Structure 1
Amino acid sequence: MTKNIDFKINEFKDLNKYPKELFYRGNIELLKKQKVSIVGTRKPISYTKNLTYTISSLLSSRDICIVSGGAMGVDAIAHQGAKPNNTICVLANGLNIRYPKVNKNLLESIESQGLLLSSYKDDTLATRYSFVLRNELVVALSDILIIMQADENSGSIRSLEYALKMNKKIYTIAHRMEDNKGLIPYIKKGLIEVIYDVNEFVNSIKDKDEIIENDEILDYLKTNPTYEDAISKYQDKIFEYELNSIFKVENGICKVIY
């Protein structure tokens, strides 16, 4: 049964416009977990399929909840890798509608074991605009966005643009140039980090609560040092804190955002 969320979701506080209503089916407690959003093309190559499942599965095994949009391709594989009980699916239509139909069984499994979210009432059909809003919510729910593979001018590029505005960390996997054309310009500008070692990447993601407890580095960052000074003082630890969105850099100055 569809229920209305009667509280503000903290991750949505920075949206330009908070949804008028939010609905859910499933385990609302998943919203409290550390989350990573994974999105990408509806027509992934085999290499992308394999790595999407692997990354999603490894993150989930570390109790990190996987967020995606329930679409064919990368989205569905990300949900499957996480297993239904540790994934959040944001839909662009009413929660009583199984769309796309090819994912009917997957969506039913997520409803019974994981969490379905939507800003649309039951019986509302998906539209071009509702997919755009769905993408924004998927990005907002996590500190990290992984775009597994993206075509030019695709929905994944819109998700990327949202992530940049929200100061999210953005990743992709190492591809042949012709297989990831949509992301190449952003990689060249240093706006997206490429994952070359999956295990190293997964192991680098830690719970914020684990990082900040009795933390002298966090205390140091609260003094707003320059990024250059912070790197000089704490070296690789600073990269880890940046990866986990503990702080951001503005005009060369470290600013805690947790």
Structure 2
Amino acid sequence: MQKVIDKIPELSLMKKYPKELFFSGNISLLQKTKISIVGTRKPSKYTREQTQKLASLLSRHNICVVSGGAMGVDAVAHAGATSSNTIAVLPCGIDIKYPSVNKNLLSDIEMNGLLLSQFEVGFKSRPWSFVTRNELVVALGDVLVVAEADIGSGSMRSVEYALSMGKEIYVLPQRLGESNATNELLESGRAKAIYDIEVFVSIFSGGEVGIESNDPFLEYCKTSPSYEDALAKFPTRVFEAELNGEVEIVNARIILK
């Protein structure tokens, strides 16, 4: 763990620039275009699938995903982006790896991506430190995406920060009676809906986005390889692509949709 010495321009939007900021991992990720993704700790299956697809496509177009390392939407966003292209902002010391259920995920991010914290080694999270963490997550991103949220949730505190910083807010379209907070944001005109993930990603990637995006795995899938061979060559991408609906398994072979 090291202290961040250079000023991070994005953090000048915070109410008060962090007195101290610690990091472990690849600090060069701070130089990339970044999108912040937050949401409930108990997302629906639909939200998990769409968040995974969004984070994955952002990452494949060299856009870094920022989130808070928590369970639910945060974890899905980090995993979708892959550990090498994501920043996890923690509400505790970097050594704590909180929550424990995400210990392996956070360790992978520390090794390949970037962990950030305003708190020294050994500091255990407090209710107020989550709020502090949320402000930093929002400040780092070019925009804020709220995948799913309830009225009065911590995600809505993140929305308040985004509004005060003048950042655009995007949400996933949800059914009536679900994710009431994001539906209310749409109704009030404070957020925009992501109706097409590829179109959304193209806004920040600087060009047209295709789902293949020169992805070696998807190119490989054009040959309709056996499931066993694909799993051996791309152990994590097989599950990710199947979840995202990019491929399907038919008669023990991978078929590109």
For this structure pair, what is the TM-score category when the shorter chain's length is used for normalisation?
Answer: 0.7 to 0.9
Shift, 1:34, TM fit: 0.5
How far apart in 2 are the matches of 1:28 and 1:127?
26
Residue identity matched to 1:98: K
1:85 aligns to 2:95 (yes or no): no
In the alignment, structure 1 segments of 5+ residues that lack a partner are: 208-258
Q: Secondary structure at the match of 2:205?
A: coil
Partner of 2:49: 50
Partner of 1:156: 155
In the alignment, structure 2 segments of 5+ residues that lack a partner are: 207-257
Partner of 1:143: 142
TM-score (norm 1): 0.79
Residue identity matched to 2:204: I
Partner of 2:111: 112
Q: Secondary structure at the match of 2:78?
A: helix
How far apart in 1 are the matches of 2:106 and 2:58?
20
Q: Secondary structure at the match of 1:116?
A: strand
- Are the equivalent residues in 1 in contact too, given 2:61–2:205 (CA < 8 A)? no
Q: Deviations over 1:135-158 (max 9, x none)?
A: 000000011110000011001000
- Are the equivalent residues in 1 in contact too, given 2:171–2:193 (CA < 8 A)? yes
Residue identity matched to 1:171: Y
Shift, 1:76, TM fit: 0.3
Q: Secondary structure at the match of 1:37?
A: strand
Residue identity matched to 1:46: K
Shift, 1:191, TM fit: 0.7
Partner of 1:96: 95
Shift, 1:127, TM fit: 0.5
How far apart in 2 are the matches of 1:157 and 1:8?
27
Which residues of 2 match residues 119-198 of structure 1 at below 5 A? Answer: 119-198=118-197
Q: Secondary structure at the match of 1:11?
A: helix
How far apart in 2 are the matches of 1:143 and 1:186?
19
Residue identity matched to 1:199: E
Query: Identity rate of aligned residues, in percent?
Result: 51
How far apart in 2 are the matches of 1:25 and 1:47?
33
How far apart in 1 are the matches of 2:119 and 2:176?
38
Residue identity matched to 2:54: I
- Are the equivalent residues in 1 in contact too, given 2:33–2:204 (CA < 8 A)? no
Shift, 1:131, TM fit: 0.1
How far apart in 2 are the matches of 1:184 and 1:46?
18
- Are the equivalent residues in 1 in contact too, given 2:29–2:64 (CA < 8 A)? yes
Partner of 2:29: 30
- Are the equivalent residues in 1 in contact too, given 2:62–2:205 (CA < 8 A)? no
Q: Secondary structure at the match of 2:145?
A: strand
Number of aligned residues: 207
How far apart in 2 are the matches of 1:186 and 1:83?
29
- Are the equivalent residues in 1 in contact too, given 2:3–2:21 (CA < 8 A)? yes
Shift, 1:185, TM fit: 2.4
TM-score (norm 2): 0.79
Shift, 1:108, TM fit: 0.3
- Are the equivalent residues in 1 in contact too, given 2:94–2:116 (CA < 8 A)? yes
Q: Deviations over 1:176-209 (max 9, x none)?
A: 02111112222112110011111121122235xx
Residue identity matched to 1:18: Y
